[in-house]
Amino acid sequence: MNEISVLNLILEAGIVVKIVMLILFIASILSWIVIVERSNFFRKVKSANDNFLRKFWSGKDLDMLYKEVLKDESLYGARNLFKNSFEEFNSFKDVNNISDLDLETINRSMRVSIASDEEEMNKYMSFLANVGSVSPYIGLLGTVWGIMTSFMGLSDATQATINAVAPGISEALIATGMGLFAAIPAVIAFNKFTSESETISQGTLIFAEELASIFYKQSVNKSNDI
């Protein structure tokens, strides 16, 4: 009696089941690549934001902080918002009286920065969502097909026994297992990254309100000095 192993069941599976398994294997590999890339991305963004906010609230001169931010090649979150809005604010430094329209221009720059950050943070999220939602159904398709093939093979058998259908059912169930193996990490990662993205966006929104207040106070003080 030949020993039944997972590898043998995969190799001896039908062409349809093999295609299903190959699709799920590729989806799983790609999802893990995305998970690693997004994990590194969010870790770097959170670390850089924490360092920036610590320097910002320590009372460091904004011009010096702006020069430090310019040295970074990739800016997201509070750093990106500060850079873009401070550039707008500086463009009005020679204006004697900063109007409400000028302040609205700065606020619009902040909203654009937040929107661009959200777009970058949501990158590949739709892929993870699709893998998490579709993979179980693809695996189920392979399972149903494999079971159908196994029972169809019984028509040529003289005696229907569990030994006759067990290998076919086993190889079919592997497809469902692979579907879940691909889906579960993708769903967990999608939920985790979505939560982290929302946390960063919420923190950036709060920082934007506080920064806008600082700009407003500086514009009022400048107007009073004239």
Q: Decide which of 70 and 171 is more confident.
A: 70
C-alpha span between 147 and 135 (Å, rounded)? 18
C-alpha span between 38 and 190 (Å, rounded)? 10
List the chain domain ranges. Answer: 6-225
pLDDT (tens digit per residue) in 163-218: 555 666 777 778 888 899 999 999 999 999 999 999 988 888 888 888 888 877 77
Beta strands in 59-171 (DSSP E): none
Q: Which residue has the tokens 């509070």?
A: 78
Q: How confident is the model over 130-157, as a mean pLDDT? A: 80
C-alpha span between 146 and 142 (Å, rounded)? 6
Residue 2 backbone class (left: φ over 0; alpha: ψ -120 to 50; beta: rest): beta
What local confidence, expressed as pLDDT, does residue 1 receive?
Answer: 40
Instruction: Provide the pLDDT confidence category of residue 37 given band limits of 50, 70 and 90.
Output: very high
Say if residue 226's pLDDT is above 60: no
